[in-house]
């Protein structure tokens, strides 16, 4: 298998030679020790000054990289991907002020944005390849998961949505695409709640690494990882049954830890089934 850490360090040496760069962070599966033969190398570059195209493309050239994607500044990020000697690199660049503002939004204003939390989680689990002192200072700021963030993560996701009420009709009609799309949305709500209950930042907006993430949690339904995954390999009616049980068990966990949240109203609504199947 590729020595991912060695290749990441090679890239870090090139990026850190640019005086605009304050820090280089190894993120993604490699930083967590979860890499496999399908992994790429995710690197976050923290810039003191905005990078130019020359800054970004010069590093790619020095890595002998073939560009796969290249995006201008969007959503406070510069991003590109390229292949270098058979390894895919995913580069995300942020101005230091953006990183610091994101931390402020999550830690002080309790933002439940999954994109913002993913950056926080990358810093928390990431490995400093350059600018260790700066990255350690960021890690200290996010070391204690805010109690109010836990509440926001939970309260904003207790409602499972009106489409969930149509689940029986969707099964009966064999509307499998819409059914499993709805199930996916409900699973994301449950996962957001579980992250709040466990005081964990969301590592990926799409809840990548689901099995490993659930296995790290201590507050969760029994056999959570296996059941969350089994939903998508089960016949529709069985998938709905599994989800109904998971929803109720997650509500019970919320009720136990936060009895003031009045979970009963959401529990009752999630149990409702739309009887009129004419529309």
For the chain, how long is the longest CA-to-CA vector?
Answer: 65
CB neighbour list of residue 28: distance below 8 Å, 6 or more residues apart: 39, 40, 41, 42, 90, 122
Average pLDDT, the chain: 96
Q: Is 36 helix (H, G, I), strand (E, B) or coil?
A: coil
Q: Binning pLDDT at 50, 70 and 90, where does residue 2 land?
A: confident
Cβ pair 90, 43 in contact under 8 A: yes
In Å, how far from its chain's centre is CA 171? 30
Instruction: Indicate the pTM of the whole model.
Output: 0.93
Residue holding tokens 């966990």? 253
pLDDT in tens, 171-196: 999 999 999 999 999 999 999 999 99
Neighbours of 37 (CB within 10 A): 6
């Amino acid at each position: 298998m590729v020595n991912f850490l060695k290749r990441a360090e090679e890239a870090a040496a090139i990026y850190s030679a640019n005086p605009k760069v304050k820090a280089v962070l190894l993120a993604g599966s490699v930083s967590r020790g979860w890499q496999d033969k399908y992994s790429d190398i995710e690197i976050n570059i923290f810039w003191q000054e905005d990078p130019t195209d020359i800054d970004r493309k010069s590093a790619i050239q020095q890595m002998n990289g073939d560009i796969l994607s290249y995006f201008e500044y969007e959503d406070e990020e510069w991003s590109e991907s390229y292949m270098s000697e058979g390894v895919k690199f995913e580069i995300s660049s942020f101005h230091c002020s953006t990183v610091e503002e994101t931390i402020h939004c999550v830690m002080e204003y309790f933002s439940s944005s999954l994109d913002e939390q993913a950056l926080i989680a990358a810093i928390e689990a990431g490995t400093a390849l350059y600018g260790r002192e700066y990255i350690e200072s960021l890690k200290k700021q996010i070391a204690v998961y805010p109690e109010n963030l836990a509440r926001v993560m939970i309260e904003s996701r207790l409602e499972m949505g009106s489409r969930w009420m149509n689940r029986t009709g969707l099964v009966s009609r064999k509307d499998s695409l819409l059914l499993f799309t709805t199930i996916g949305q409900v699973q994301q709500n449950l996962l957001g709640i579980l992250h709040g209950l466990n005081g964990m930042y969301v590592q990926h907006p799409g809840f990548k690494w689901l099995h490993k993430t659930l296995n790290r949690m201590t507050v969760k339904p029994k056999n959570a990882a296996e059941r969350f995954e089994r939903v998508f390999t089960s016949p529709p009616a069985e998938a709905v049954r599994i989800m109904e049980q998971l929803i109720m068990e997650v509500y019970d966990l919320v009720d136990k830890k936060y009895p003031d949240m009045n979970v009963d109203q959401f529990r009752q609504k999630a149990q409702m089934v739309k009887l009129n199947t004419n529309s």
